[in-house]
Amino acid sequence: MTRAEAKQRNRQALLAAARLIVARDGHRAKLEEIAEQAELTTGAVYSLFGSKNGLLVALVTDHLTPHYDSIEQAIPADMGLAEAVEVFARHYRHLCDDPEALRHLSFEISLQDLALRDPELAPKLAASVRAHEQRLTALLSGRLHYGTAVTSRQAQRLATALRALLVGLSQGVILGLADDASSDYFAATARALITPDVLGPP
């Protein structure tokens, strides 16, 4: 194994361990336990991520990146805005049926709990989430809606509303609070956000 391969292996081992322990322990997650779970030392955490917070920020990126990668692949460049929004919403609904959906939700809530308790971590996690939201903004920007291309500013406003809506609906489905929220329901509620009030001026 090369040095680069060993570094990547250790990085993935620490991310997997952190995901497990943060989901289990929330704000009580200890760096020593994460390192032990990964069969590494805390020194490896500092070497690879700079700090515990650096590891947690990388954890958010590692969690969100595949999600947005799959969305980009599902929405071709020539698709109109309304159809693109529907595809995005249906993708969110599909994730609710994942056997690991409850574990993923537990992990996400634990990260939010960590951010609330650590004033230094909160803006870093927010920046990581915002960077992925920008990917959605870029994906929606320029798409046609009633013959007019959506501007970047409008796409940003819509992306923020979509993420808030779909995160909330998904949590309701996973927790059994919205059992009748089908893929069609997700698509319809998301499409309903495409209004002049939400999009705002160009």
Q: HEC string of the chain?
A: CCHHHHHHHHHHHHHHHHHHHHHHHHHHCCHHHHHHHCCCCHHHHHHHHCCHHHHHHHHHHHHHHHHHHHHHHHCCCCCCHHHHHHHHHHHHHHHHCCCCHHHHHHHHHHHHHHHHHCCCHHHHHHHHHHHHHHHHHHHHCCCEECCEECCHHHHHHHHHHHHHHHHHHHHHHHCCCCCCCCHHHHHHHHHCCCCHHHHCCC
Q: Is the pLDDT of residue 10 over 90?
A: yes
Indicate the pTM of the whole model: 0.84
Are residues 42 and 32 in contact, defined by beta-carbon separation less than 8 angstroms? Answer: yes
Q: Is the pLDDT of residue 149 over 90?
A: yes
Q: How open is the CA angle 190-170-180, to the nearest 5 degrees? A: 80
Q: Is the pLDDT of residue 93 over 80?
A: yes
| Intra-chain end-to-end CA distance of the chain, in Å | 53
- The CA distance from 157 to 108, in Å, is 23
Higher pLDDT residue, 94 or 29?
94
For 99, phi then psi, to 5°, come to -55, -25
Are residues 193 and 162 in contact, defined by beta-carbon separation less than 8 angstroms? Answer: yes
Are residues 140 and 150 in contact, defined by beta-carbon separation less than 8 angstroms? Answer: yes
For 20, phi then psi, to 5°, come to -65, -45
* 104-139 pLDDT tens trace: 898 888 888 888 888 888 998 899 889 989 999 999
pLDDT of residue 28: 85
For residue 134, the one-letter residue type is: Q
pLDDT of residue 167: 94
